[in-house]
């Protein structure tokens, strides 16, 4: 029993590691995007020409060796505090939550259901469709993807398959396929929800901020698509699904 328990714990740790890697990647993507926005704002700041003059006057006003040492010590103390704050902020961003922009998987049932075997978590970073999902079977893939999009990542965890498409204009598509009955938790809180049609079947569309979340299913699988594309393109992509 101890050996079996140890093996389950080892498999759980591997699965958690893969999952945290994915979350970390999503947070890093968000941090990079925000950094670019901050860079644009910083570039717009105009530094007055009188700044150097004021700094020189202040330095000249510091008389004597002891005064200069106190000034340097104060500067170093302030820099250390800033460094600590930045490190704490970075750590909190990486370990923030198990919720990513596109979806939140309900982990309790995934990890604590009595499985006879746990399948391996697969993580790949590629831009070629054939290499990304060559080992998959019994899955659906959009026959239509807008021009310029390519596969950035493809993952499979316990039968849940996630493909991320991106383009050079910071547009993205998260496409998720899960077996019917799989419990998923999507970030649709405070969004505007309404019913739409995908291949003449009922589907749920949620508009939240600048992103759209589309949920639908067929006889085999449930599908989730999150994107900053408009509603019409999202539905068109959904209706183009083909089984591979």
Q: What is the pLDDT of residues 18-36, one digit of tens each?
A: 666 667 677 677 777 777 7
pLDDT of residue 168: 95
Counting the structural domains of the chain, the total is: 2
214 neighbors 225 (Cβ within 8 angstroms): yes
For the four alpha carbons of 149, 151, 157 and 158, in that order, the dihedral sign comes to positive
Q: Are residues 90 and 108 in the same domain?
A: no
User: Mean pLDDT, to the nearest integer, of 223-234?
Assistant: 94
Give the span between the Cα atoms of 240 and 76, in whole angstroms. 60
One domain for residues 117 and 48: no
The pLDDT value given to residue 108: 35
User: For residue 64, what pLDDT band results from cuts at 50, 70 and 90?
Assistant: low
Structural domain of 155: 104-243
Query: Do 121 and 229 share a domain, yes or no?
Result: yes
Both tokens assigned to 122: 């697969």
What is the pLDDT at residue 55? 60
What predicted TM-score, i.e. pTM, was given to this entire model? Answer: 0.47
Q: pLDDT tens across 88-117, in order?
A: 665 555 544 444 434 343 333 333 333 333
The more confidently predicted of residues 86 and 220 is 220
How many whole angstroms separate alpha carbon 196 and alpha carbon 205? 6
Q: Which residue has the higher pLDDT, 161 or 182?
A: 161
- Quick check: is 99 in a domain? no
Distance CA 240, CA 69 (A): 70
66 and 111 in a common domain: no
Q: Is residue 28 part of a domain?
A: yes
Residue 58 has pLDDT above 70, yes or no: no
Q: Which residue has the tokens 């299913």?
A: 217
Q: Is 55 domain-assigned?
A: yes
Residue 55 or 203, more confident: 203
| 224 shares a domain with 191 | yes
Residue 85: exposure state from Cβ atoms within 10 A (0-12, 13-18, ≥19): exposed
Let me know if residue 216 belongs to a domain.
yes
What CATH number does the domain containing 138 carry? Answer: 3.30.200.100
State whether 75 and 121 are in the same domain. Answer: no
| Residue 145 pLDDT exceeds 50 | yes
Task: Tell whether 62 and 16 lie within a shared domain.
Answer: yes
- Is residue 173 within 8 Å of 237, Cβ to Cβ? yes
Domain boundary among 63, 94, 125: 94
CB 123 within 8 A of CB 155: yes
Among candidate residues 59, 94, 129, the one where a domain is terminated:
94
Q: Give the list of residues 6+ apart from residue 228 with CB closer than 8 angstroms, or none.
A: 171, 172, 210, 211, 212
Please tell me whether residues 81 and 118 are part of one structural domain: no
- Tokens 């039968």 correspond to 159
Residue 208 shares a structural domain with residue 121: yes
What are 203's strand-pairing partners?
196
**Same domain flag for 224 and 115:** yes
E strands within the chain? 104-105, 122-125, 140-142, 150-157, 160-166, 172-179, 184-185, 192-198, 201-208, 211-217, 221-227, 241-243
pLDDT for residue 135? 76
Residues 108 and 18 in one domain: no
Residue 82's pLDDT is what?
62
Six-digit token pair at 34? 């925000």
Q: What is the pLDDT of residue 214?
A: 94
Give a yes or no: residue 181 inside a domain: yes
Asked if residues 156 and 122 have their Cβ atoms less than 8 Å apart, the reply is yes
In a domain, 167, yes or no: yes
d(CA 239, CA 55): 64
CA distances, 229 to each of 58, 68, 233, 234 (Å): 54, 58, 7, 7
Same domain for 83 and 160, yes or no, is: no
Look at residue 182 and tell me whether its pLDDT is greater than 80: no
Which of the pair, 101 or 207, is modelled with greater confidence?
207
Domain boundary among 75, 94, 113: 94
Per the prediction, the chain carries an average pLDDT of 73
């Amino acid at each position: 029993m101890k050996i079996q328990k140890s093996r389950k714990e080892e498999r759980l740790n591997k699965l958690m590691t893969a999952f945290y890697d994915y979350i970390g990647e999503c947070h890093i993507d968000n941090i990079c995007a925000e950094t670019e926005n901050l860079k644009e704002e910083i570039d717009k700041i105009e530094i007055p020409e009188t700044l150097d003059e004021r700094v020189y006057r202040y330095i000249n006003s510091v008389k004597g060796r002891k005064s200069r040492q106190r000034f340097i010590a104060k500067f170093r103390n302030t820099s250390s505090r800033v460094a600590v704050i930045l490190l704490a902020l970075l750590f909190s961003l990486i370990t923030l939550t198990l919720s990513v922009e596109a979806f939140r998987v309900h982990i309790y049932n995934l990890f604590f259901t009595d499985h006879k075997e746990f399948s391996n978590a697969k993580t790949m970073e590629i831009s070629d469709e054939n290499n990304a999902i060559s080992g998959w079977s019994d899955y659906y893939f959009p026959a239509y993807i807008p021009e310029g999009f390519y596969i950035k990542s493809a993952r499979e965890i316990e039968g849940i398959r996630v493909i991320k498409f991106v383009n050079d204009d910071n547009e993205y598509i998260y496409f998720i396929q899960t077996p019917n009955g799989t419990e998923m938790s999507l970030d649709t809180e405070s969004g505007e929800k309404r019913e739409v049609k995908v291949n003449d079947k009922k589907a749920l569309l949620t508009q939240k901020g600048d992103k759209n979340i589309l949920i639908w299913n067929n006889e085999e699988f449930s599908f989730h698509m999150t994107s900053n594309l408009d509603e019409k393109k999202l539905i068109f992509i959904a209706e183009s699904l083909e089984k591979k």
